[in-house]
């Protein structure tokens, strides 16, 4: 169903303000941006009081069961409306994505929230003859369901301008709603448990299985295995305060201080970035002294995101091919 709320204010000053703002925002897909601020002055004082009874200034918004409930609900913050729409989408069986926005003088004045199946995949992804992997299944159905809110400058609150509650796809079952992208989230308790288990070097896959067992199955978790791996990766990167290059140099220098046979040398560019890095430890040096009669360099051993070659040194050891990686 399509619900729209329009302004009937005749105040000349408010109309001028509305027109000036629309000129700054440009046209929208529904051509209804002309009422961006005008709607804020269309409510009488009694209506304002009834609206505030549904959502107070502290952001305590009630559970909105139907689409009509949104039309007469005010929100203190834009994020508050997003959370309310997410709760509503959970009960219906769809996810939410943040969409178009409107700015005036660096102030956010308009925000759209879409169904997670809004839009379609770009045509360029279908015409790729060089594709090796099989393309993923289409998840977008160009669903038109949305929630449009605007900022009321007179009352300093967010109001609902339009809500469309018609979907062109099947809804997810409630038991699977926690797997939709907008509903997946690791709680602070989950993160604390992962951090404590990682201190004992427990593999990430084992942590996932343990936490699923605690709740009675993987379907009971509020996140996926990919969310867990991403969190662990981000935590690991956060521990590298000065970047991976600085952490690598610091590790090699500490190793050279402990092992006198270890050597690490590096060069930097004009803008003080890492250019070349060479390292060797006592094991590599001792093996080279004993089995250094044959040595081959291959600078295309591995590629990386820095587009730098990693030199692999191949030598003969007891008539068998061996490989030691140097920088």
Task: Say yes or no: 125 and 212 in one domain.
Answer: no
Coil, helix or strand at residue 274: strand
What is the distance between the alpha carbons of residues 326 and 309, in angstroms, rounded to a whole number?
A: 11
pLDDT in tens, the chain (327 residues): 666 654 434 343 433 333 333 333 434 444 443 333 334 433 333 333 333 334 443 345 556 788 888 988 999 999 999 999 999 999 899 999 999 999 998 999 999 999 999 998 888 777 788 888 887 888 889 999 999 999 999 999 999 999 999 999 999 998 888 889 899 989 999 999 999 999 999 999 999 999 999 999 888 898 999 999 999 999 887 776 667 777 788 888 888 888 888 888 888 888 877 788 888 888 777 777 776 655 555 555 445 566 666 665 555 555 554 545 444
- Using CA atoms, how far apart are residues 313 and 278, in angstroms rounded to an integer? 12
- Are residues 45 and 194 located together in one domain of the fold? no
Residues 32 and 112 in one domain: yes
Residues 155 and 233 in one domain: no
50 and 170 belong to one structural domain: yes
pTM of the predicted structure, to 2 decimals = 0.57
Residues 259-273 as b or e (16 or more Cβ within 10 Å = b): eeebbbebeeeeeee
42 within some domain: yes
Residue 19, Cβ neighbours under 10 Å: how many? 13
Whether residue 157 is found in the same domain as residue 204: no
CB-CB contact of 67 with 145 (8 Å): no
Residues 156 and 207 placed together within one structural domain of the fold: no
Sign of the CA dihedral 227, 231, 236, 237? positive
Partnered with residue 111 across adjacent β-strands are 101, 149
Residue span of the structural domain in which 282 resides: 261-325
Together in a domain, 234 and 320: no
Residue 245 is assigned to a structural domain of this protein? no
266 and 311 inside one domain: yes
Q: What is the rounded CA–CA span in Å between residue 81 and residue 98?
A: 11
| Residue 60 belongs to some domain of the structure | yes
Q: Say yes or no: 214 and 104 in one domain.
A: no
Q: Is residue 248 part of a domain?
A: no
| 90 found inside a domain | yes
Whether residue 138 is found in the same domain as residue 30: yes
List residues bridging with 295 in a β-sheet: 315
Q: How many domains does the chain have?
A: 3
- Examine residue 56 and state whether it is found in any structural domain, yes or no: yes
Among the candidates 131, 158, 178, a domain finishes at: 178
């Amino acid at each position: 169903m399509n619900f729209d709320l329009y302004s009937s204010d005749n105040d000349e000053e408010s109309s001028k303000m509305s027109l000036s703002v629309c000129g700054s925002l440009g046209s929208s897909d529904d051509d209804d941006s002309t009422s961006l601020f005008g709607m804020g002055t269309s409510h009488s004082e009694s209506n304002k009081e009834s609206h505030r009874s549904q959502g107070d200034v502290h952001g305590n918004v009630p559970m909105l069961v139907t689409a009509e409930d949104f039309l007469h609900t005010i929100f203190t913050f834009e994020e508050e409306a997003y959370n309310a729409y997410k709760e509503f989408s959970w009960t219906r069986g769809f996810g939410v994505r943040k969409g178009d926005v409107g700015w005036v003088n660096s102030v956010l004045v308009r925000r759209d929230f879409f169904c997670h199946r809004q839009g379609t995949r770009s045509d360029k992804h279908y015409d790729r003859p060089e594709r090796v992997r099989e393309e993923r299944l289409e998840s977008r159905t160009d669903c038109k369901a949305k929630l449009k809110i605007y900022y009321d400058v007179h009352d300093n609150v967010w109001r609902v301008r339009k809500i469309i509650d018609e979907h062109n796809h099947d809804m997810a079952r409630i038991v699977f709603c926690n797997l939709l992208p907008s509903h997946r989230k690791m709680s602070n308790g989950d993160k604390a448990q992962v951090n404590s288990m990682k201190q004992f070097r427990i593999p990430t896959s084992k942590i996932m299985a343990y936490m699923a067992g605690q709740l009675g199955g993987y379907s009971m978790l509020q996140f996926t295995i990919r969310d867990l791996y991403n969190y662990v990766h981000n935590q690991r990167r956060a521990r590298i305060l000065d970047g991976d290059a600085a952490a690598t140099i610091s590790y090699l220098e500490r190793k050279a201080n402990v092992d006198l046979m270890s050597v690490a040398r590096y060069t930097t560019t004009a803008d003080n970035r890492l250019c070349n890095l060479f390292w060797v430890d006592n094991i590599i040096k001792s093996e080279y002294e004993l089995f250094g009669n044959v040595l081959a360099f291959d600078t295309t051993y591995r590629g990386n995101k820095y587009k730098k070659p990693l030199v692999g040194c191949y030598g003969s050891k007891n008539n068998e091919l061996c490989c030691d990686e140097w920088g």
